[in-house]
Chain A
């Protein structure tokens, strides 16, 4: 029988607010997976296992391969006064963040990625006014995603003039953050997907429990096995002007 998602013996960190998951993150602390006496393949495999358990745990390997982009964006920073960007491998899983279930989870409207999937499948989510019940739908830059307030887990029934009653879920606080590529309006439970996640001086925009070194190894694992050009399906998501935009 398969072990549960938040199994302590496996020790995998998931996209979930459950207290078991929180404890697993606490237990793993700041210790990196061991690299001593490990072959390169073993290190890459461990990195892939850990990162994929968080990024896209609800996806099959086949589904993930369709979204994965082997070419990472490169950046040239001429000025030395600016703090160095983290290694570009932090953007390994950037293409996943456009998915509707990821957006719903990242904006703190679902307690786990599977819950986010369910909310979408049950039809509580609409994109630009139209109901979308496909969790794999990719958002365009500027899309407005709206969620039915009754589907939010920490909003319960006694309806007041100020909306539904707020009842916080225990142990949800450590997971409350909103990434910079989303703009959320809590009054209407709506989100705008701004742009692709990018890296910043000294920090990464994609919330991930793993440091860039682990992402590098995972990226190498997949890049060796997936060789494809930038897919057509994602080209239409970014407006044409962005290709040449300079501040």
Chain B
């Protein structure tokens, strides 16, 4: 454990450090790095040097380096750039490099000290999402019931189920799932087994206030208000939603609004190959025929199968 002593004089004295020539070169390489998402080894190598040797080279080290390249030249004592930053990195900044098993924000539970209004809500853990998946597929519970049990909004339940389906499909295809990632990052995010969300969350669009003069004796009901605002009444909206949930319940099968297309191979012409284009021929009128000439020369006949 390195202890850094600072004398608050004009010049700041720093203990010796091992900032060798190779690490200087590494940092130069890092400055020229062009892609953010590749060459992680370069990044790691750079960090390995930086985390252990944060203070800049001391006078003697710098002179030694200079000796190898140039003849001796009188050097003024080197000024340390950004001392506060470097000291903070080693002292308080260490907290953000050591422990990776729970959320670790700058404030106690807020990541931005200037903005206390942003309090990040922990996400759901993967085990809970598996439970939700099983409840939907095996027990056949509706998203509404799942949402009320776990405190999750309806949209989120649907999203969880869609993503889980994608995960299962990828597993079946043989693609490795990133379990390392999910296990470790959930620790850092502080994932929980419940959420505290309302089922539906939209802000009603309230525009300019609408003033309506009404006689003192007259009653003003929500239906009159709906009429003036030119919106359906609350009762109608709720009924409509209820009906929709019963008629079109959430399901994981992909209900595409487009009708199914059946392509049947009709012929193949080797001479008609084309690297760039697919040609589609459509007859206009009552009897619609659609023919497709693919890039490799094969000719297809397309027929639509109406779902409804």
Binding site for B on A (CB under 8 A): 8, 19-20, 22-23, 25-32, 73-76, 86, 90, 108, 110-112, 114-115, 118-119, 122, 124, 141-142, 144, 146, 149, 151-157, 159-180, 183-190, 192, 194-195, 198-199, 202-204, 206-212, 241-247
Contacts and interface: CB of A to CB of B under 8 A. Distances in A.
Interface stretch (B17-25, B66-74, B95-103): B95-103
Contacts of B178: 149, 155, 162-164, 186-189
Contacts of A149: 178, 181
Interface in B120-172: 120-121, 123, 126, 129, 153, 155-156, 158-160, 162-164, 166-167, 170
Contacts, number: 245
A93 B232 CA distance: 31
Interface of B: 35-37, 40-41, 43-44, 47, 51, 82, 84-85, 88-89, 92-93, 96-97, 100, 103-106, 111-121, 123, 126, 129, 153, 155-156, 158-160, 162-164, 166-167, 170, 176-186, 188-189, 197-207, 231-232, 234, 237-238, 241, 244
B106 to A, nearest CB: 5
B206 A76 contact: yes
A108 to B, nearest CB: 7
Given A30-B113, A30-B114, A111-B36, A176 B51 contact: no
Contacts of B93: 19, 22-23, 171
A170 B119 contact: no
B238 A246 contact: yes
A36 B60 CA distance: 48
B159 A118 contact: no
Given A111-B36, A119-B36, A247-B200, A183 B115 contact: no
A110 B104 contact: no
A41 B108 CA distance: 34
Contacts of B85: 8, 20, 23
Given A167-B40, A177-B103, 15 more contacts: A26-B88, A28-B114, A30-B114, A114-B36, A142-B159, A149-B178, A155-B181, A177-B111, A177-B189, A186-B182, A186-B186, A188-B163, A189-B181, A207-B120, A208-B112
3 tightest A-B contacts by CB? Answer: A177-B120, A115-B36, A163-B178
A180 B119 CA distance: 11
